[in-house]
């Protein structure tokens, strides 16, 4: 076992502008101040509240090797970030509304649309992006032990695992059960709309994720009418259980970050609608359980093709799910969940179609160090 400890909306129409005041209505009154002209005409306007203005894109000091936005946000980790421009994604982290985009050289910059505190927004963003973990160092270790991963890493740089708020992550993956991305997104947008409106960017409304207290006021019937189906009872049931925790549900979920993986999985599985796969997703994407392996039929196919070929053709059972997870951890170590995430992304039709045709004939070798190569250009050229 090889281990590594790196250093550490539904679209809604934009509300119309209010009509200008007539001369009669302003007579004998102090004239209103002239409207502030945006210094960035290409940045979509925001609505609601009157946030502090932070009119600039700021370098995040993350290269494409450390973060690829197209390989991180639209690949099933979160359903709350929207593409609001070419290589630009917008979302909320707590009470902060931010956009991220790639510059022409591939580096990432960020723009604060609304934040109670600019410094707090940046800290929240860095935490959300898990920047304390060096993706390049992880990829190097994985590639030394897996020639196929080494080839993938050249083409799919920057597929990073996020560190989401556990409540937000939990509710999203309750929506994901036996569902497709379009429908999951609509459900998550509905839940999100119950929170405080922070602004609109690129035709999308963005909200702070609602608190458990706010969610507890939503009935199962309301969710069913909104199209949640049987998942409605799981969401309301889970909220009720979390609300009954002595120190509060949000704090209880955060405490799972300190447990061993299996303890965290077992605790999550006590919640209505949470099974081992959903629990593993929550553990990996929000609870610092970096070797959690969410096993579904897709991951099972990857495992039987490249890790456990002797099980090809077998029927996936809970016992075999555990065996698959063990195989990933045995090969990739304590950050196996990060390796599995890249392998999962590589097998998505949208990415698979772009990989070099010879790639799928690569045979496993004992060792292959990653090379600085630009032999393929998938999401690699941001110009």
**pLDDT given for residue 253 in this prediction:** 98
Cα separation, 262 vs 242, whole angstroms: 20
Give backbone dihedrals phi and psi of 36, rounded to 5 degrees, phi first. Answer: -80, 125
Active site residues: 277
Phi/psi-derived region of residue 226, left when phi > 0, alpha when psi is between -120 and 50, beta in every other case:
alpha
**pLDDT given for residue 204 in this prediction:** 97
**pLDDT given for residue 155 in this prediction:** 87
Task: Establish how many alpha carbons lie within 13 A of residue 257's alpha carbon, considering only the half-sphere containing its beta carbon.
Answer: 14
pLDDT under 50: residue ranges of the chain: 1-30, 35-48, 50-51, 53-54, 362-383
Integer CA distances (angstroms), 112 to 99, 199, 201, 335, in order: 7, 11, 11, 31
**pLDDT given for residue 347 in this prediction:** 87
Give backbone dihedrals phi and psi of 119, rounded to 5 degrees, phi first. Answer: -70, -40
Question: CA-CA-CA-CA torsion for 281, 98, 9, 382, nearest 10 degrees?
Answer: -80
**pLDDT given for residue 68 in this prediction:** 95
**pLDDT given for residue 12 in this prediction:** 40
Three-state DSSP at 91 gives strand
- Sorted by where each starts, the structural domains of the chain and their CATH numbers stand as 56-128 (3.30.310.40), 163-288 (1.10.340.30), 290-356 (1.10.1670)
CB 187 within 8 A of CB 116: no
**pLDDT given for residue 137 in this prediction:** 95
Which of 202, 195, 185 is closest to 10 using CA atoms?
Answer: 185
CB 203 within 8 A of CB 45: no
Question: Tokens 């949208």 correspond to what residue?
Answer: 350
**pLDDT given for residue 19 in this prediction:** 42
**pLDDT given for residue 352 in this prediction:** 72
**pLDDT given for residue 178 in this prediction:** 85
**177: how many CB neighbours lie within 10 A of its CB?**
16
This prediction's pTM: 0.80
């Amino acid at each position: 076992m090889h281990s590594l400890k790196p250093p550490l909306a539904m679209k809604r129409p934009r509300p119309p502008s209010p009509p200008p005041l007539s001369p009669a209505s302003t007579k004998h009154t102090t004239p209103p101040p002239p409207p502030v002209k945006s210094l960035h005409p290409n940045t979509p306007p925001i609505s609601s509240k009157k946030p502090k203005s932070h009119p600039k894109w700021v370098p995040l000091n993350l290269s494409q090797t450390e973060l690829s936005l197209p390989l991180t946000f639209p690949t099933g980790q979160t359903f709350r970030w929207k593409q609001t421009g070419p290589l630009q994604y917008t979302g909320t982290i707590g009470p902060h509304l931010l956009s991220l985009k790639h510059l022409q050289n591939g580096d990432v910059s960020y723009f604060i649309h609304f934040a109670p505190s600019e410094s707090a927004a940046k800290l929240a963003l860095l935490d959300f992006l898990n920047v304390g973990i060096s993706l390049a160092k992880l990829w190097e270790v994985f590639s030394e032990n897996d020639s196929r991963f080494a080839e993938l890493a050249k083409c799919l740089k920057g597929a990073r695992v996020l560190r989401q708020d556990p409540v937000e992550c939990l509710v999203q993956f309750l929506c994901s059960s036996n569902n497709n991305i379009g429908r999951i997104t609509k459900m998550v947008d509905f839940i999100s709309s119950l929170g405080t409106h922070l602004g609109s960017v690129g035709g999308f409304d963005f909200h702070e994720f609602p608190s458990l207290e706010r969610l507890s006021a939503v009935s199962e019937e309301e969710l069913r009418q909104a199209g949640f189906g049987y998942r409605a009872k799981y969401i309301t049931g889970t909220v009720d259980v979390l609300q009954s925790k002595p120190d509060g549900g949000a704090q209880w979920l955060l405490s799972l970050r300190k447990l061993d993986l299996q303890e965290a999985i077992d605790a999550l599985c006590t919640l209505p609608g949470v099974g081992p796969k959903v629990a593993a997703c929550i553990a990996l994407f929000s609870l610092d359980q970096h070797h959690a392996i969410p096993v579904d039929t897709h991951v099972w196919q990857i495992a039987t093709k490249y890790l456990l070929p002797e099980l090809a053709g077998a029927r996936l059972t809970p016992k075999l799910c555990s065996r698959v997870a063990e195989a990933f951890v045995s090969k990739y170590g304590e950050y196996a969940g990060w390796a599995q995430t890249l392998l999962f992304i590589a097998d998505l039709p949208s990415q698979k179609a772009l990989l070099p045709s010879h790639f799928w004939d690569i045979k496993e070798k004992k060792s292959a160090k990653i090379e600085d190569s630009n032999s393929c250009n998938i999401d690699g050229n941001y110009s």
